[in-house]
Amino acid sequence: DAGVIQSPRHEVTEMGQEVTLRCKPISGHNSLFWYRQTMMRGLELLIYFNNNVPIDDSGMPEDRFSAKMPNASFSTLKIQPSEPRDSAVYFCASSLAWEPQHFGDGTRLSIL
């Protein structure tokens, strides 16, 4: 049973560049969550979807961040333009309704 799959695992890019993070949730799960983890702020929820529809994006830092879920098996988190303060580990998680969440292993993003 494949878990949540995130790509890439590591991304290093220069500030100003567009960054796209990808997530494949567990098949059959209908909720998908994007988190950001930093030493200073811990694990923060950015946005979550139910049945491919964004439900709460109040954690998205600013307009430079956007997330989409075009179908039940794929989601993207995009940062454009990227800034050094966006450096963090970004996690995707999925769940079936209100059941516990399953996390991917994250994308470690470094913006130079």
Partner 1 sequence: SQQGEEDPQALSIQEGENATMNCSYKTSINNLQWYRQNSGRGLVHLILIRSNEREKHSGRLRVTLDTSKKSSSLLITASRAADTASYFCATDLEGAQKLVFGQGTRLTINP
Out of 23, 24, 33, 60, name the contact with partner 1 by CB under 8 A: 33
Of 86, 112, 95, nearest to 20 (Cα)?
Answer: 86
- Cis upstream peptide for 8 (omega within 30°): yes
Least distance (Å) from partner 1 to the CB of residue 94? 11
> Are 21 and 37 a contacting pair, CB within 8 Å?
no
31 near partner 1, rule: CB under 8 A: yes
C-alpha span between 105 and 92 (Å, rounded): 8
SS3 82: coil
Verify cis geometry, omega within 30 degrees of 0, for the bond prior to 81: yes
Residue 68 C-beta: closest distance to partner 1, Å: 18
Residue of 45, 66, 72, 78 interacting with partner 1 (CB under 8 A)? 45
Residue 92 CB, shortest distance to partner 1, in Å, is 9
Binds partner 1 (CB under 8 A): choice among 18, 56, 61, 83:
56
Distance CA 30, CA 69 (A): 11
Residues 66-105 that bind partner 1 (CB under 8 A): 91, 93, 98, 100-105
Binding positions for partner 1, rule: CB under 8 A: 4, 31, 33, 42-43, 45, 48, 50, 55-56, 91, 93, 98, 100-106
